[in-house]
Chains A and B, each alone.
Chain A
Amino acid sequence: MTPGMQTAGLSPLDRPNSYIGKAVPRPNLERLLEGRGQYVSDITLPRMVHAVFVRSPHAHARIVGIDVTEAKTMSGVIAVVTGAELAKVITPWVGVLSHLKGLKSAPQHAIAVDRACWQGEAVAAVLATSRALAEDAAEHVVVEYEPLPVVTNVRTALDPATPIIHAELGDNLAFERKIDAGAVDDAFKRSDKIVDVEFIFGRHTGVTLEPRSIVADWAPGDRRMTVYLGNQAPHMVQNIVAKHLDLEEAQVRVLCKDVGGSFGVKVHIYADEMATCALSKLLRRPVKFVADRVESFNTDIHARDHICRGRIGVSHDGTINVFEIDDLTGVGPYSMYPRTSAVEANQVIILIGGPYTTPNYRGRTRVVFQNKNVMSQYRGVGHPIACSITEGLVDLAAQAIGMDPVEIRRRNMVRDDAYPCDSPTGLKFEALSHHASLDKLVAMMRYDDLRAEQVKLRKQGIYRGIGIASFIEVTNPGAAFYGVGGARISSQDGVAVRLDAAGTVICQTSVTEQGQGSESMTAQIVASAIGVSMEKVRVILGDTDNTPYGGGTWASRGTGIAGEAALQAAKVLRGNILATAAAILQGKPDDFDIVDGMIVDAHGQQRIELNELTRIAYFRPDTLPPGFQPELMATRHYVPRQYPFAFTNGVQASWLEVDVITGKVKLLKHWVVEDCGTIINPQLVDEQIRGGVVQGLGAALFEHCIYDETGQLTNANMADYLVPMATEMPDIEVGHQISPTLESELGAKGAGEAGAAGAAACVSNAVNDALSPFGVTITEIPLTPRLILTALGRI
């Protein structure tokens, strides 16, 4: 049997020594565990100064005057810079995208110039030789404010009596979208039961372990700006920094080394980060800014914060006839730049009813401005809300007609053999597996046994609940996300692989690593496709000077897009290596294979090692046949074009107990079945799912940015803002269905946000299931003891 035949029909991924589908440890694990990570705060440059921002204590105020005289004289202080001074070196921006029709926003400055629009907006910067000295001096910057009326309540933000935050915009409406599909009014008329409720989602935030941090280094000699930043999208940052600082992109290098968690919080570029770049240019020296925890709470993007009325119409046989929503969200005073603050609302409106065949759907979403911190994309973007509304309504419909929640889903979910198909809102589904996933989930959780246990325990006064939530997830976005809207945020990714002189592989990729395992995923694919061990692959990422151009890691796109580029680049390199081997060994490329770093022949006989091949290629090309030039480096780029997004699906379940005396919810167990297509590293996928679930559980029970009516964030610290902790978390069991996308050879779709998408929805459903004997329904999160005790009428 010839090797050519041996591999015929087998993709390089199925080869015997493949890493695909294996839970191999991440290559960067040891380095990080040894404390040798290189985070931005580890970077110290000669002449570097520390920036501290003086931030507005008011949610809305005119800046009457800033007196920096005393601060400037203080020990260690290099400069104190106001917004007006900084505006001379950096232009303001407007966070809109043209495909989000009608989205409007006002120009935002790196440092507020005349007016502060939320509590925490920077109004001046102090630069000193240490952060502590800069903080000392910041206390002596005297800002005179004239407080302005605040807009905090989204329900009244559009009332004529409410002041308009940006007069030039005419009103406080940032964005509105409506959808009307099918025959909604008829469908309600035909329905035997209609459920009509209001859902409330608390504002929360990402709480990355490493806060946002940046070192900006303007080197006047090179006329280059080097930016070290904890960020997910280095090329996006390169473009924006260049654009607003009057530089060419080539003059800006962005490095994103180790990043301590991002979750979407670090996919944006923030005003204070832009200010840091501008300050470096102004002072002609490196400037570091590391947000402290209070600043993180006040300025890292917040998310969710929706009030949504939802209606569902159902027939006695369980047919869901119609969904209708009216959604309202407040996003702070500006639409975030450059990805805007309308994407979450836009996702909510398109994703409602996603798993179901229901053809009738009417939706409206409105995004309003308010004097609170900016809101934008955080893990799951819109999915948790759409899922909670859809699945909350489906459970209430089931309850209204006395049908089991699993049964009503089975009767309405799109059939597994119905693909490809479109949703009523025009979403294109290539291949989903709602029924198989639900069947698997029901088996994993032993649904019927749990129901029996629930009944038994209720008689003893123990109230347990089961909540189910199916979902669809947008992954692998093409240009439809940002590119078509005019943002220079690439949807394609590039990977370059080269065989170096010692026979090892160096791989440069445009995706980035923030802990999810991009480096491992890339190395696994490249090693498998070439035929070397993973230790022989070194992955370089997060450097605009040294990687191909690409989008980065966000929107569950890293593996599906950059993973495919890695595969294609590695296949080209493998072909080039085999051509070189054929030239050396005087055969045809098809006669050879690469197995574990060794060129083998048709009989499986080991012929030469890769480092022998590279020795000849790089140092003794004179021995190669005339005219043959080894090309031991290859680059490929990839972006899906057939589908705007690769939809994935999944279903989650929660089993919990509500203590009806204390109002506490105890999570007992959580199950997830998801379908992300080809799985490269099952452990990494499971970790992504679990991490996302925990963030969703945080939203369901704990996390909440609590503002008072004057726009003050009242719990901007880790004692009062409750993140989920290990003790409160249940075991999370993860199962998979595998429906690969046929658009790419790899077949991988995204998995990063699936956990976050459905977790809160099933907790809400489970709490309502537990409380059903009391006739209580709660459609608000976080589900605090106070909320539950109030609903039960106990306090």
Chain B
Amino acid sequence: MKAPAFNYARASSVQEAIDLLSHYGDRAKVLSGGQSLMPALNLRLLAPEWLIDIGPIVDLRRISVESGLLTIGASTRHADLHRSPDIAAHAPLLKDAVAHVAHPAIRNRGTIGGSLAHADPASELPACMVALDATIVVLGPDGERRIPAVDFFVGIYETQLLPGELLVAIEVPKRAAGVRHFFSEHVRRSGDYAMAGLAAEAEIDGDAFVRLRLGFFAVGERPILATAARHLIGRPVTEAVLAQACAALDDELAPQDDHQATAGMRRYLARQLLVECIVSLLGRSDLRTKVVA
């Protein structure tokens, strides 16, 4: 379990990283926190000729807030997100979610950019990006591309990033007053990748949703912004409405079997998450699933 030999380059600036990346193209891989890349190398699942280490680029590790927008540098560690007062104030969903990503040792090294670029469909952060309507900022030899999160994730470990491009930042709209969020996932053990998870954000007026963004993960090839939300918006939520939304959700999921859960179980867990989410956001425990002996 030793990585095959590779060449290693440390980029000290974003420009240098992009130069190196565009020079080596698909023979190179960006090395960020290494928490997904290094295991893949050691298992010899990947054998890039070059690793471009972006660790030294301090500019990429920052969180800033400007008029309505929270900008998170790609090299911001999971642990940074968890500690940041700005994240807690303006994107509390991320703070909640990141506590479910792996374990402290991994959160100390793993980065948000790495997580999004890696695009594991069972990852928490990509689904949050979708729920938060974030924009992924990518730099390449031809300049900047700004990609809405819903479009960024393409498939299993697949994004819109092209060889030679670097994910540099994520922009998240600052959360408006009165906005609520929900995060929950089903895992075998705490810190594991989820069997099914949901990151959601909502605006509520009285007893009805005005806006509801449901970012499901681990139930398809990429994070899913569930259109089933439309059934729940602009009307009082009853058991029947919720059942309708669950049925609609079922139609738009395409989960897979793995060791921990079958596709059917994932669909089931996703429905349970949706119910819990609505119960929690609306404070309606009467809608909770009842299992009677």
A715's nearest neighbour on chain B, judged by CB, is B259
Q: Is B12 among interface residues, defined by CB-CB distance under 8 A? A: no
Contact A785 B188 (CB under 8 A): yes
- For window 271-291 of chain B, which residues contact chain A by CB distance below 8 Å? 272, 289-291
Q: What A residues does B3 contact at CB under 8 A?
A: 132
Q: Which of A780-794 contact B (CB under 8 A)?
A: 784-786, 789, 792, 794
**Partner pick for B189 among A136, A702, A714, CB 8 A cutoff:** A702
Could you mark each residue 757-789 of chain A with 1 if its beta carbon is under 8 Å from any beta carbon of chain B, else 0? Answer: 000000000000000011000000000111001
Contacting residues, chain B, for A715 (C-beta < 8 A):
259
Closest-by-CB residue of B relative to A772 is B293
Q: Produce 1/0 per residue, B84-107, CB < 8 A to A.
A: 000000000000000000000000
> Which one of B44, B262, B272, B293 lies within 8 Å of A135 (CB-CB)?
B44
Mark each residue of chain B from 256 to 270: 1 if its CB lies under 8 Å from any CB of chain A, else 0: 000111101100110
User: Is B155 on the interface with A (CB-CB < 8 A)?
Assistant: no
Decide if A422 is an interface residue (CB 8 Å cutoff). Answer: no
Residues on B with C-beta less than 8 A from A795 are 262, 264-265, 268
Interface status of B5 (Cβ within 8 A of chain A): yes
B190 adjacent to chain A (CB < 8 Å): yes
Out of A130, A131, A727, A789, which one reaches B265, CB within 8 Å? A789
Q: Is residue A170 within 8 Å, beta carbon to beta carbon, of the partner chain?
A: no
Q: How far is the CA of A345 from the CA of B292 in the complex (A)?
A: 41
Which chain B residues numbered 184 to 199 have a C-beta less than 8 Å away from chain A? 186, 188-193, 195
A714 touches B259 (CB 8 A): yes
B1 within 8 A of partner (CB): yes
Nearest B residue to A291 via CB reads B1
Q: Which of B22-44 contact A (CB under 8 A)?
A: 43-44
Chain B residue nearest to A720 in the complex (CB) = B259
List chain A residues, Cβ under 8 A from B190.
725, 727-728
Do A136 and B268 touch across chains, with their CB atoms under 8 A apart? no
Interface string of B147-162 (1 = CB under 8 A from A): 0000000000000000
Query: Which DSSP category, helix, strand, loop or mixed, fits chain A's interface?
Result: loop
- A160 interface residue (CB < 8 Å to B): no
Contact between B265 and A786 (Cβ–Cβ < 8 Å)? yes
Contact at B289–A727, with CB atoms within 8 Å? Answer: no
Residue of A nearest to B42 (CB): A292
The closest CB in chain B to the CB of A718 belongs to B39
B1 touches A292 (CB 8 A): yes
Q: Given A720-B259, A786-B261, A795-B262, are A660 and B291 also a contact pair (CB < 8 Å)?
A: yes
Known: A661-B291, A706-B259, A795-B262. Is A136-B5 also a contact (CB below 8 A)? yes
A666 to chain B minimum Cβ distance, whole angstroms, is 11
A722 interface hit (Cβ, 8 Å) = yes
Bound complex: CA of A486 vs CA of B166, how far in Å?
Answer: 66
Cβ of B56 under 8 Å from chain A: no
Assess the A662–B293 pair: CB atoms within 8 A. no
Q: Cβ of B189 and Cβ of A728 under 8 Å apart?
A: yes
State in angstroms the CA–CA spacing of A720 and B44 once bound together.
17
Distance, CA A774 to CA B291, complexed state (A): 10
Q: What chain A residues lie within 8 Å of B265 (beta carbons)? A: 785-786, 789, 795
> Contacts A136-B4, A293-B1; is A661 near B188 (CB within 8 Å)?
no
Chain B residues near A661 (CB-CB < 8 A)? 272, 289, 291
| A46 close to chain B: CB less than 8 A | no
Asked if A794 and B261 make an inter-chain contact with CB atoms under 8 angstroms apart, the answer reads no
Binary A-proximity of B62-90 (CB < 8 A = 1, otherwise 0): 00000000000000000000000000000
Q: A661-B272, A702-B189, A773-B293 are in contact. Are A135 and B2 (CB under 8 A)?
A: yes
Among B43, B44, B191, B269, the residue within 8 A (CB) of A662 is B269
Nearest CB of chain A from residue B274's CB, rounded to whole Å: 13
- Is A702 a contact of B188 with CB atoms below 8 Å? yes
Which among B1, B186, B193, B260 has the highest number of chain A CB atoms within 10 Å? B1
A420 at the interface (CB under 8 A from B): no
Chain A residue nearest to B195 (CB atoms) is: A785
Q: B273's closest neighbor in chain A, by CB?
A: A662
Interface residues of A in 683-730 (CB under 8 A from B): 702, 706, 714-715, 717, 719-720, 722, 724-725, 727-728
Query: With a CB–CB cut-off of 8 A, which chain B residues contact A719?
Result: 193
Q: Determine if A426 is an interface residue (Cβ-Cβ < 8 Å).
A: no
* B268 cross-chain contacts in A, Cβ below 8 A: 789, 794-795
For B264, the chain A residues whose CB sits under 8 A away are 795
A294 touching B261, Cβ below 8 Å: no
Query: How far is the CB of A89 from the nearest CB of chain B, in Å?
Result: 27
Q: Which residues of A contact B189 (CB under 8 A)?
A: 702, 722, 724-725, 727-728
Residue contact B290 to A727, C-beta cutoff 8 Å? no
Closest to A50 in B: B2
CA distance A50 to B3 in the complex (A): 16
Q: A627 in the interface, Cβ–Cβ < 8 Å?
A: no
Nearest Cβ distance between residue A294 and chain B, in whole angstroms? 6
Task: Give Cα A166–Cα B98 distance, bound, in whole angstroms.
Answer: 53
Per-residue CB proximity of A121-141 to B under 8 Å, as 1/0?
Answer: 000000000111001100100
Q: Is A35 an interface residue, CB under 8 A from the partner? A: no
Instruction: State in angstroms the CA–CA spacing of A340 and B227 once bound together.
Output: 59
Instruction: Name A660's closest neighbour in chain B (CB-CB).
Output: B291
How far apart are B122's CB and chain A's nearest CB, in angstroms?
Answer: 11
* Contact A131/B289 with A706-B259, A728-B189, A789-B265 known, Cβ cut-off 8 Å: no
Within 8 A of B (CB), among A717-767: 717, 719-720, 722, 724-725, 727-728
Could you tell me which residues of chain A, from 647 to 681, have a CB within 8 Å of some CB in chain B?
A: 660-662, 664
Collect the chain A residues with CB atoms within 8 Å of residue B1's CB.
135, 292-294
| Nearest CB in chain A to that of B187: its residue | A664
- Chain B residues with Cβ below 8 Å from A785 are 186, 188, 195, 260-261, 265
**Does A461 lie at the interface of the complex (its beta carbon under 8 Å from any beta carbon of B)?**
yes
Chain B minimum-CB-distance residue to A726: B190
Which residues of B from 232 to 269 have beta carbons under 8 Å from A?
A: 259-262, 264-265, 268-269
Chain B 119-147 interface 0/1 with A at a Cβ cutoff of 8 Å (1 = within):
00000000000000000000000000000
List chain A residues, Cβ under 8 A from B4: 132, 135-136
Contact B272 A662 (CB under 8 A): yes
State how many angstroms separate the Cβ of B44 from the closest Cβ of chain A: 7
Q: Find out whether the CB atom of B5 lies under 8 angstroms from the CB atom of A774.
A: no
User: Do B291 and A132 touch (CB < 8 A)?
Assistant: no
Is the beta-carbon distance between A786 and B291 smaller than 8 angstroms?
no
Which of A130, A706, A784: most chain B Cβ within 10 A?
Answer: A784
**Bound state CA distance, A702 and B188, in angstroms?**
8
Docked complex Cα distance between A706 and B264 (Å) = 20
Q: Are B5 and A786 touching (Cβ within 8 A)?
A: no
In the complex, which residues of chain B have a beta carbon less than 8 angstroms from the beta carbon of A139?
44
- List residues 85-143 of chain A with CB under 8 A from any CB of chain B: 130-132, 135-136, 139
A118 CB to closest chain B CB, in angstroms?
20
For window 212-227 of B, CB contacts with A under 8 Å fall at: none
Given contacts A461-B291, A725-B190, A773-B293, A132 and B2 within 8 Å (CB-CB): yes
Bound Cα distance from A600 to B291, whole angstroms: 75
For A130, A292, A458, which residue has the most chain B Cβ atoms within 10 angstroms?
A292
User: In the bound complex, what is the Cα–Cα distance between A795 and B196 (angstroms)?
Assistant: 14
Closest to B269 in A: A662
A661 to B269 Cα, complex, angstroms: 9
Residues of B within 8 A of A773 (CB): 293
Other 7 A-B pairs with CB < 8 A, given A722-B188, A725-B190, A786-B260: A135-B2, A715-B259, A724-B189, A773-B293, A785-B186, A789-B265, A795-B265
B-binding residues in A (CB < 8 A)? 130-132, 135-136, 139, 292-294, 458, 461, 463, 660-662, 664, 702, 706, 714-715, 717, 719-720, 722, 724-725, 727-728, 773-774, 784-786, 789, 792, 794-795
Sorted from nearest, which 3 A-B pairs have the closest CB atoms? A773-B293, A292-B1, A132-B2
30 A-B residue contacts at CB 8 Å?
Answer: A130-B2, A132-B3, A132-B4, A132-B5, A135-B2, A292-B1, A294-B1, A294-B43, A660-B291, A661-B272, A661-B289, A662-B186, A662-B269, A702-B188, A702-B189, A722-B188, A722-B192, A724-B189, A725-B189, A727-B189, A727-B191, A728-B189, A784-B188, A785-B260, A785-B265, A786-B262, A792-B291, A794-B291, A795-B264, A795-B268
